[in-house]
Every structure is written in C-alpha cells, then in structure tokens.
Amino acid sequence: MKIAVFPGSFDPITKGHVELVLRAVPLFDKIIVAIGVNSQKKYLFSLEQRLAWLEEVFKNEANVEVAHFQGLTAHYCQEVGAEYLLRGLRNASDFDYEKTISQLNNIVGEGLETIFLISEPQYSHFSSTIVREIIKGGADPSPFLPKGVIIPK
Ligand code: ADP
C-alpha cells in the first residue's frame, strides 16, 4: 500500500494546500495530511481549529486522512507505514529549503522518499504566512481559503 504523509502547519490551510493534495490523490493509496506540532512554535490558530478545518475540507476524499504528530516527520512516517512524503514547491526558495530537508529525511527515515509537486501558477503566491498577515491586518482572507474554512471573528 502506497502511503504518503503531507506534513505542515496548515495555519491556516489554503487553496494551495488543497490543490496539491487533490493532485496527489491518484498517485497514492492513502494520503495522511498531518499537522506537525512543535511546542516551540507559536501558531495563530489552535491545533483543534486547524484539525477541524482539515477534516471539513477533505471530508469527501475517501483516501485522505487527517492527523497530527509530535517529533520528527520521518519517525511519524515510520510509525504509520508511510514510505513517501508529499511537499509542494512554489518557487526557488521553497526548493532550496526542501532539498536539504528531503535529503535529511531520506537518511533519518531510512529511504523515505519526498515527492514534490510544483504548485499551479494561480496558487504559487499563496502561503499561510500571507493569509495570517491579511487576517491580522483586518482584510478578507476568503479568496485564499478553501470552502468550509471560516475564520472566527
Ligand atoms: P510548513 O510549516 O512545513 O512550511 P505549510 O503548512 O506552510 O507547512 O506548508 C506545507 C506544505 O505545503 C509545504 O510543502 C509547502 O511547500 C506546501 N504549500 C504551501 N502553500 C502552497 C501552495 N500555495 N501551493 C503548493 N504548495 C504549497
């Protein structure tokens, strides 16, 4: 069974993330969209809120599961029997960052392979960071958010 983990903070999930997962669905038997919890990191939205959004967005996708984990992504993949990591590439700076992480994960994860999909052009400027700035600035983030993701007032 080909299982991929799509790890991220999803703070919050954007249309860019969803587009990536849906394009990857035909490539794997199962995709686990997993929120990596880092106790040192400050998030804008609670883990419960971010998980609820993921559940809502992928509720009709039979082969997509939603989860969260602590610790190293590579260890989590071993725990759930995933031999693949899914990541998105928007630009050259994503590439530089992802290249190093993927090489490390390949060692720590004992052969764990990262599969990259290049983001679609209409979403390549979407990021959770930008969405958080828009929310903090009091503008409407809905053009960036999937249906079902409503930001609490
Ligand atoms: P992290 O905290 O690990 O950066 P994110 O939630 O920001 O997690 O992103 C998770 C993954 O989604 C990363 O591989 C990132 O490149 C990808 N991603 C984020 N935004 C987009 C987008 N607009 N198009 C395609 N992939 C994206």
Q: What is the pLDDT of residues 93-123, one digit of tens each?
A: 999 999 999 999 999 999 999 999 999 999 9
24 CA to centre of ligand 1 in angstroms: 14
| 147 HSE (CA, 13 A, CB side) | 3
Say yes or no to pLDDT of 153 above 80: no
Enter the CATH code of domain 3-144: 3.40.50.620
Atom of ligand 1 nearest to the CA of 94: 16
Q: What are phi and psi of 147, to 5 degrees?
A: -55, 140
How far apart (Å, rounded) are the C-alpha atoms in residues 9 and 45?
10
Output the pTM of the full model.
Answer: 0.95
- What digits encode the pLDDT tens for the residues 7-66? 999 999 999 999 999 999 999 999 999 999 998 999 999 999 999 999 999 999 999 999
Residue 99 catalytic? no
Q: Is the dihedral of CA 50, 138, 20, 92 positive or negative?
A: negative
Atom of ligand 1 nearest to the CA of 89: 16
